[in-house]
Amino acid sequence: MTQIATVERIIDADHAEISVPRKSACGHDCEECAGCGVSGAAVHAKAANPIGARPGQKVVVESSTRKMLYIVVLVYLIPVVLFLAGYLITAALTSVVGLQYLAAILGFAVGIAAAIAYDRRLRDRGGLSFTIVRLF
């Protein structure tokens, strides 16, 4: 997966800190909405700098698409699947609606907890790995 980033600072001879604009589904047409207040949000990350990019330069960075898709599945899909599984399995076993709702909420909570645990583990290991491939 490639993205446009800005080099913020040089960490060492082989690495730089980059700033990647955060993408969202809203499209940032703020004149139409003006409701989220997310404009300008960016993610800071460490990136391999084999081309010797300097602070302030716009660069193209590459990250593992496989790892990114794994994160997307974990964060978005697993909580929803566990929510539905909790509800449907409980619905098949009992007709008590309150218990069905409770199982669905617990399934969703387990999915969110798994996503948070993975995020912490990923952060401890240095986060996603980016590589600067060329100047923009």
Instruction: Extract the tokens encoding 77.
Output: 């899909």
> What ranges do the domains of the chain cover?
2-135
Average pLDDT in the 88-98 region?
94
SS3 39: coil
In angstroms, the Cα distances linking 127 to 34, 44, 104 are 31, 10, 31
Flag the least confident range among 13-27, 59-73, 96-110. Answer: 13-27
pLDDT tens track for 111-133 = 999 988 888 887 777 667 788 89
φ/ψ of 64, rounded to 5, equals -70, 115
pTM above 0.85, yes or no: no
Taking alpha carbons only, the member of 1, 70, 7, 3 closest to residue 44 is 7
Instruction: Extract the tokens encoding 111.
Output: 């999915």
Residue 62 has a pLDDT of 86
> How far, in whole angstroms, is CA 119 from its chain's centroid?
9
- Tokens 């409701």 sit on residue: 35
Instruction: Extract the tokens encoding 57.
Output: 């330069």
Q: Pairing relation of β-strands 42-48 and 58-63?
A: unpaired
- The DSSP 8-state label assigned to residue 127 in this structure reads S
pLDDT tens track for 44-64 = 888 889 998 899 999 999 887
Q: What is the percentage of the chain residues whose pLDDT exceeds 90?
A: 35
Length of the chain in residues, anyone?
A: 136
In the chain, which ranges are continuous DSSP H helix?
65-72, 78-93, 97-124
